[in-house]
Amino acid sequence: MRKLIVAFVFAALPGLSLAAGGGFHLDKANVDLSDTASLQRGAQLFTNYCLSCHSAQYMRYNRMGRDLGLTDEQVQQNLMFTTEKIGDTMKVAMSAADGKAWFGAPPPDLSVIARARGADYLYTYMRSFYTDEKRPFGVNNAVFADVGMPHVLWELQGMQKAVFKTEKASDGSDTQVLTGFEQVSPGAMSAAEYDEAMRDLVNFMVYMGEPAQLQRQRMGWWVLGFLAVFFVVAYLLKKEYWRDVH
């Protein structure tokens, strides 16, 4: 039993370390994969602002269009900027070498980033850039400290600065704790509009991580129903077979 407990603890450590990473409070994304309009808006944001550097090489344009209720023509006219073939995957022209030279590391593929990081992490991350003159692109991030990514959505959100307060550490020394943000320059969207846009973007990224999630969940109820009926039949059959066994 002790060995089983130890094995369980070690198996859970990676998940615990990820959940505790950064120490910054994560806001709830409250994504809804059944909201097709939200997914369409998120796809537009992704292709306009993310796909220039980040790929999504496990997602095909035609599959995305079918799932989001779009025709091939609508996808080609509004969401395809890096290829002309509707059956292609969502790749970028930038090479890994160029990405490393410009940003310090190649921009990661975002196909399954929502499954790796979580929707709340992405939602908070996209809303937590703040000005920092020490960084190469003039911005830092409260969720991902010293991130190499520029704030590509600054025109929508505007620029904000971090607000810190001084607290005593366990060793008695003073430490700076980030408590929030203060708007420095306005963007094209209000704070509420930008939050909603980031919810749409994260919603789409969650969809990309598992496009068949809704179908899987619907099928799961049918499977559970079948198992419930089968259990009753199997139990009655067992009673019939063992009725005369003493």
Per-residue pLDDT of the chain (246 residues; tens, 9 = 90+): 454 444 444 444 444 434 444 468 899 999 999 999 999 999 999 999 999 899 999 999 999 999 999 999 999 999 998 788 999 999 998 888 988 888 888 999 999 999 999 999 999 999 999 999 999 999 999 999 999 999 999 999 999 999 988 887 777 787 878 888 999 999 999 999 999 999 999 999 999 999 998 888 889 999 999 999 999 999 999 888 888 775
pLDDT at 5: 46
Q: pTM (2 decimals)?
A: 0.80
With beta carbons less than 8 A apart as the criterion, state whether 143 and 121 touch.
yes
CA atoms within 13 A on the CB side of 64: 33
Residue 2 lies in a domain: no
pLDDT at 204: 97
Residue 84 lies in a domain: yes
Cα separation, 168 vs 173, in Å, equals 6
Residue 191 lies in a domain: yes
Cα separation, 124 vs 116, in Å, equals 15
With beta carbons less than 8 A apart as the criterion, state whether 56 and 111 touch.
yes
pLDDT at 50: 94
* Residue 186 one-letter amino acid: P
pLDDT at 17: 39
Long-range contacts of 51-54 (CB under 8 A, 24+ apart): 51/81, 51/82, 51/90, 51/92, 52/92, 52/94, 53/92, 53/94, 53/99, 53/103, 53/107, 53/152, 54/92, 54/107, 54/108, 54/109, 54/110
Cα-based distances in Å from 116 to 6, 29, 133, 232: 25, 15, 30, 39
Residue 9 lies in a domain: no
Q: What stretch of H or E contains 161?
A: strand 158-168
pLDDT at 177: 85
The domain that holds 47 is classified in CATH as 1.10.760.10
pLDDT at 246: 58
Cα separation, 199 vs 123, in Å, equals 6
pLDDT at 235: 92
Residue 1 lies in a domain: no
Residue 97 lies in a domain: yes
With beta carbons less than 8 A apart as the criterion, state whether 181 and 156 touch.
no
pLDDT at 6: 40
Which residue range forms the structural domain that includes residue 200?
24-159+186-210
Residue 194 lies in a domain: yes
Name the domain count of the chain: 1
Residue 219 lies in a domain: no
